[in-house]
């Protein structure tokens, strides 16, 4: 039954994800593509949508996939599945772990998680960067899968200049919300411009 499948798969994602949204992306991709709930292209497009909408990536994606597979009820089931483990674990942490936070085994566990989380986030960043530049997949780096995304490369270049130009001029980091709005404001006209010249 689709509802049970959605609940179980997103529950597993919720249980085995440490480190937040970016660390969750590889497991989300494996699950969603493995069940043919989305194509790889749709998955990465929706990651972009998740980045520009409020809420965690996992919750947004669970809601979307649930809705596409089983309507409104499916979105509720998938979303409940992905948030339930965090809810239960935080209650457990609040009641038990605070007493043992200085325990060397607990500290060892937490220290062991850090490099794993960094690796997951880094691998996700590399994959998203490669997709933005035009690689169809990481395997395609060694084959013929590179089709330059002029829009992606040009937009990244402009955003790089805007971000570091702002930092250099104002001597502070750009506000995240402002940067998201600017990204959309630059990305949309760039897509229209490159489409006009047939470079999409």
Do 121 and 159 lie in a common domain? no
Q: What is the mean pLDDT of residues 175-188?
A: 83
Q: Of 60, 61, 57, 51, which Cα lies nearest the Cα of 177?
A: 51
Structurally, the chain folds into a number of domains equal to: 2
Rounded percentage of the chain residues whose pLDDT exceeds 70: 88
Strand partners of residue 146: 135
Strand partners of residue 19: none
Displacement of CA 156 from its chain's centroid (Å): 18
DSSP 64-113: HHHHHHHHHHHHHHHHHHHHHHHHHHHHHIIIIIHHHTT-HHHHHHHHHH
Do 137 and 154 lie in a common domain? no
pLDDT at 116: 80
With a CB cutoff of 8 Å and minimum separation 6, the contacts of 154 are 190, 194
Length of the chain: 200
Residue 16 pLDDT > 70: yes
In this structure, the dihedral spanned by the alpha carbons of residues 164, 116, 16 and 108, taken in order and rounded to 10 degrees, is -120
pLDDT-derived band at 72, boundaries 50, 70, 90: very high
Q: What is the mean pLDDT of the chain?
A: 82
Task: Give the range of the structural domain holding residue 157, as residue numbers without chain letter.
Answer: 150-196
Displacement of CA 28 from its chain's centroid (Å): 9
Three-state DSSP at 135 gives strand
Residue 123 pLDDT > 70: yes
Q: What is the mean pLDDT of residues 67-92?
A: 92
Do 155 and 136 lie in a common domain? no
Do 57 and 97 lie in a common domain? yes
Do 155 and 125 lie in a common domain? no
pLDDT at 183: 83
Distant-in-sequence contacts of 85-92, Cβ < 8 A, 24+ apart: 85/11, 85/14, 85/15, 86/14
Name the most confidently modeled range: 77-91, 133-147, 184-198: 77-91
Residue 149 pLDDT > 90: no
Report pLDDT digits (tens) over 44-71: 888 878 777 788 888 999 999 999 999 9
pLDDT at 157: 87
Q: Which of 96, 111, 141 is the last residue in one of the domains?
A: 141
Do 104 and 184 lie in a common domain? no
Do 186 and 107 lie in a common domain? no
pLDDT-derived band at 79, boundaries 50, 70, 90: very high
Residue 143 pLDDT > 90: no
pLDDT-derived band at 198, boundaries 50, 70, 90: confident
Q: Which of 141, 158, 184 is the last residue in one of the domains?
A: 141
Q: What is the mean pLDDT of residues 86-115?
A: 81
């Amino acid at each position: 039954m689709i509802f049970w499948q959605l609940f179980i798969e997103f529950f597993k994602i919720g249980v085995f994800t440490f480190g937040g949204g970016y660390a969750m992306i590889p497991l989300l991709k494996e699950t969603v593509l493995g069940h043919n709930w989305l194509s790889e292209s749709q998955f990465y497009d929706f990651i972009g949508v998740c980045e520009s909408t409020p809420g965690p990536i996992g919750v947004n994606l669970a809601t979307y996939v649930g809705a596409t597979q089983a309507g409104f009820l499916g979105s509720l089931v998938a979303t409940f599945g992905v948030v339930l483990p965090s809810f239960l674990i935080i209650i457990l942490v609040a009641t038990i772990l605070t007493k043992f936070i200085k325990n060397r085994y607990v500290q060892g566990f937490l220290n062991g998680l850090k490099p794993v989380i960094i690796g997951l986030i880094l691998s996700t960043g590399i994959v998203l960067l490669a997709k933005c530049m035009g690689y169809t997949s990481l395997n395609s780096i060694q084959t013929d899968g590179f089709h330059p995304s002029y829009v992606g490369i040009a937009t990244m270049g402009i955003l790089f200049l805007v971000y570091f130009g702002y930092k250099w001029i104002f001597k502070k980091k750009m506000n995240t919300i402002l940067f998201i709005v600017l990204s959309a404001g630059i990305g949309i006209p760039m897509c229209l411009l490159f489409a006009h010249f047939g470079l999409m």
